[in-house]
Amino acid sequence: MRDLREGDVRPIGVFDSGLGGLTMVREFVKYLPGENIVYFGDTGRVPYGSRSPETIAQYARQDESFLLSQDVKMIIAACGTVSSVASHTGAGLPVPFIEVVSPAARAAAKLSKTGRIGVIGTSATISSGSYARQLQALRPDACVVSNDCPLFVPLVEAGWIDKDDPVTVETARRYLAPILEAKVDTLILGCTHYPVLSGIIGEIMGEDVTLINTGEMAARAAAAYLEFHGMLNRSEDERRCRYYVSDRTESFSKVAAILLGRQIGDRVERVDISKY
């Protein structure tokens, strides 16, 4: 029997192809401070961004099915790639589903003054045209310039995120050159791995360009949904976060600490995702 004064204490399920979704979990401190979390990072199959839409949808279904087995009250695809090419997998779920494209597109359409909006993401995300389509629907005057940045995910997963890292800085310069040339005033970081590189990206783009963190926008959307439906966790118990991965737990803990901004200790378990 649920105590109504406590709201819905079940955890929120968050998944990503790897560690990038942790940039969204980091935002929970601000927007969803009372929520318990179950995070699944598909580290054994990352990256998703270079795979076919069919494979990405199959992986997303397994990730969602694992989270459902953890009795979650909501599932968030903290992955721009899944949100772009496989968000239909969330439609039939028995719990609410939030993806990252719509909240970020809404924020960019609202914040951009000139309507010149840049989008960067994985190859699958950019070739799906998901952000451009939504931006154009929200703001027909928008001029959207996109570029895929396939090397960003492995650089982040390897922890090469230092602001002065010469390899990452040079890679970013090359990827951002066409966006810079297009004189955008807003740039959507269309992959949840990218906020970790926002220091480097911001420096290259200049301070007049607003960077949109997709994980942050989705966390806000999730908070608004749970609040509206009376599903926020109002219990005073300390919140619990459980982390699961589909490959070695050691390397996860190290980079996760950087992405989350705190140590996650030994609360990481390995899951055989092929069973889901």
**Catalytically active residues, by annotation:** 79, 191
The residue within the footprint of ligand DGL, chosen from 48, 97, 243, 252 (CB under 6 A), is 48
Q: Compute how many residues bind ligand DGL; rule: CB under 6 A.
A: 17
Q: Interface with ligand DGL by CB under 6 A: which range of 10-18, 25-33, 136-144, 169-177?
A: 10-18
**x/- track of binding to ligand DGL for residues 237-276 (CB under 6 A):** ----------------------------------------
**Judged by CB, which is closer to ligand DGL: 26, or 193?**
193
Asked if residue 16 binds ligand DGL (CB under 6 A), the reply is: yes
Contact at 8 Å (CB) between 39 and 22?
yes
3 state SS for the chain: CCCHHHECCCCEEEEECCCCCHHHHHHHHHHCCCCCEEEEECCCCCCCCCCCHHHHHHHHHHHHHHHHCCCCCEEEECCHHHHHHCHHHHCCCCCCEECCHHHHHHHHHHHCCCCEEEEEECHHHHHHCHHHHHHHHHCCCCEEEEEECCCHHHHHHCCCCCCCCHHHHHHHHHHHHHHHHCCCCEEEECCCCHHHHHHHHHHHHCCCCEEEEHHHHHHHHHHHHHHHCCCCECCCCCCCEEEEECCCHHHHHHHHHHHHCCCCCCCEEECCHHHC
CB nearest ligand DGL: which residue?
Answer: 49
Amino acid of residue 70: Q
Show the binding pattern over residues 121-160: x = contacts ligand DGL (CB under 6 A), - = does not: -x--x---------------------------x-------
- Distance CA(228)–CA(249), nearest Å, equals 36
Closest separation in Å from C-beta 159 to ligand DGL: 15
Q: Which of residues 20-39 bind ligand DGL (CB under 6 A)?
A: 20
Give 7 or 121: the residue with its C-beta nearer to ligand DGL.
Answer: 121
Rule CB under 6 A: is residue 193 a binding residue for ligand DGL?
Answer: yes
Of 18 and 90, the one with the shorter C-beta distance to ligand DGL is 18
Residues facing 47 on adjacent strands: none
Which residues in 88-127 contact ligand DGL (CB under 6 A)? 122, 125
Q: How far is the CB of 49 from ligand DGL (least distance, A)?
A: 3
Would you tell me which residues interact with ligand DGL (CB under 6 A)? 16-18, 20, 46-49, 79-81, 122, 125, 153, 191-193
